[in-house]
Chains A and B, each alone.
Chain A
Amino acid sequence: MPGPTRDQKSKEAAVLYTSLADLAVVTILFFFAVFTSSLTLLSEAIRVALMLLVEFYGLFVLRALHRDRLRRFRFGIGKVEQMCNLAIGAALLFSGFWVAHSVVAALLSVQAASTPLGLAAAAVISAVNLLINLLGWLAMAAAARDGDSAIYRAQLRARAVKLAASAIVQIAITIAALAKDPVVATLFDGIGAAFVAGVMVTIGFKMVAECLPDLLDHPLPGETKKEIEAALLSAGIAGEELLRLRTRCSGSLPQVELTLAPAGCASVTDYCRRVTAVENHLKDHLGGADVSVVVDARKPAET
């Protein structure tokens, strides 16, 4: 079994170290939640822990991918990658709604802003979080290359969202901590949280919407099908020789199944030669797609 390349190892290390840093933050959050008996802090710790679970799941799949442990997925690992994206997207969506709920609950309870000491402590913790996100994003961006796996791209995207969100939170919470007027403090605290919620929900929704059609075996778009038909024509397959065309997508890899009844193939050798040529032609045309030409094995009545 081949081991991971140096480049792949650096990607794994970038994801691992940022996840471990996040783990440290979660541990501190849990510690303070228990120490202060704060249910709000405890729920925040649970939310971050859930996100962390998804991060570790992504890392686990990335490691398996780099070590070729997913070879048994004979139809490709595109769907596994999309499932990772779905998990990250869903976690972002969930977190976004959670934060939005907290903002609304705080506004409805007409609570005054946290105490100055509480806001100052929050600003310090937020700064640590911002630093972790910045370092994590820098490490991951440095290891990124063209043609990276979808899992790594999704992790990088999620980290960028977290960095942007934590930067905005830092600005808002610093203003809130420095503000002498409690109304201004509450306002900036709320604006920061609402912005974070908005970004998380938008990106999360986009990620879920992007990967769902693939996971559902949705057929390829009409223009791609037309491209396939044109490629078949250029490979010498006439329209009436194509009995059935089934398509779906697995990550970035289109999967095409053609049922052909090629004319003028008296012997199996002729048939095999011709369909192999068609498969190769389509693969070249569709950027290495998974193409299967299957024999028409139905009864005449079924056809």
Chain B
Amino acid sequence: MTQRQALSQSTGGTARGPALALDAGLLCILLVATPMTGSLTLLGETLRSALLFLRELSDWMTKKKLLAGSLAHYEFGVEKLAQAWTLAIALAMIIAGLWIAGLALDLIVTGESQTTSGGLALAAVTLALVTLRSGLQMLPFAQPKPRAFRFASLLVMQSMITLAALADDPSIALLADSFGAAFVALLMTAAGARLFSTAAVDLVDHPLNRKSEAYIAELLLEAGVEEEELLDLRTRRSGRDIFVELTINPSRAGSFEEARQRMGQLRRALAEQRDDLDVAIRLRAPGADSG
């Protein structure tokens, strides 16, 4: 499989385009409806949906651009670019989460809501569309955990906003809307913090953890590299890519060509095990290191 084919598969081929278009349409409905409803829960969900959509869109566009070759000048891949974008989205999520939490607190303290029963009903219907879309995405069962979690969280918000819309007492409606908003604020802040920590670690050339490095050492052993041959192992993460630099003592090989061929086999053996490895091999005689 060529790099281009692999990339095309990872972008989901052409299938991701319509799904993104559908999400964009739903986001437009949310953006139009939210100011009309005055519901804080819906405002929070609109912000969350917008940020998640931006993340999906940037991921898709980066891969499209990579496929078209316009990002080829990034010689070490574009994963850091994706991580920087994730970092920005994560920060926006944290800030938006804190802002919504502040508004929810203000609403509870002052008790001054700008929404009406009609507005809450509209909010419930709009949110139902988002929940329905998320539910349909769940239809091929055994979906990844994040998708199931999003659906479950939307159900909680849907119950809150429906309660607010159906409540006769305005104070109950206000409380239900505030709790829904506080819930979405909590989700956004937590998701933002989690994304932030992952992206920040990847951006700073963090090495792999001991377990992963031990796994690579094991792979090397399986590929026939003895422990005393491995002079140095440097690793770093860059999004989904793992960069590994091996310094190997080639004393077992007689000629350079023999050593080169052996390193070629080693590289292929590692690539067969993990396709996200970018392996660079240095050959050095012990004690003749540079610097």
Contacts and interface: CB of A to CB of B under 8 A. Distances in A.
A280 B291 contact: yes
B290 A291 contact: yes
Interface string A222-263: 000000000000000000000000111010000001000000
Interface residues of B, number: 46
A268 B245 CA distance: 19
5 contacts: A72-B207, A83-B200, A267-B254, A271-B259, A279-B290
A83 B203 contact: yes
Contacts of A94: 95
Interface string A283-301: 1000000011111111100
A292 B77 CA distance: 18
Contacts of B207: 72-74
Interface stretch (B113-121, B141-149, B261-269): B261-269
B205 A73 contact: yes
B256 A297 contact: no
Contacts of B284: 272, 275-276
Interface of B: 73-77, 80-81, 84, 91, 95, 106, 200, 203-207, 234-236, 238, 245, 250-251, 253-256, 259-260, 263-264, 266-268, 279-285, 288-291
Contacts of B283: 268, 271-272, 275, 295
A276 B254 CA distance: 19
Contacts of A83: 200, 203-204
B272 to A, nearest CB: 13
- Main secondary structure on B side of the interface with A: mixed
Nearest to A70: B204
A75 B234 contact: yes
A199 B279 CA distance: 45
Given A279-B290, A291-B290, A297-B281, A272 B75 contact: no
A276 to B, nearest CB: 5
A198 interface: no
Nearest to B286: A272
A249 B250 CA distance: 29
A248 B75 CA distance: 8
Contacts of A26: none
Contact of B76 (A212, A248, A270): A248
B75 A246 contact: yes
A217 B282 contact: no
Interface residues on A, range: 35 or more
Contact of A246 (B76, B234, B254): B76
Given A90-B91, A268-B250, A276-B289, A295 B203 contact: no
B290 A283 contact: yes
A168 interface: no
Contact of B282 (A73, A78, A248, A295): A295
B245 A292 contact: yes
Contact of A293 (B254, B267, B282): B282
A217 B256 contact: no
Nearest to A248: B76
Interface string A200-211: 000000000000
B290 A268 contact: no
A170 B219 CA distance: 64
What are the 10 A-B residue pairs with the smallest beta carbon separation, nearest first?
A279-B290, A297-B263, A246-B75, A74-B234, A79-B204, A272-B285, A294-B280, A297-B267, A268-B250, A217-B76
B204 A217 contact: no
A1 B124 CA distance: 60
Contact of A295 (B206, B255, B260, B285): B260
Given A271-B259, A298-B267, 18 more contacts: A72-B207, A83-B200, A83-B204, A215-B80, A216-B74, A248-B75, A267-B256, A268-B251, A268-B253, A269-B285, A273-B288, A275-B284, A276-B284, A276-B290, A279-B290, A292-B282, A294-B281, A299-B268
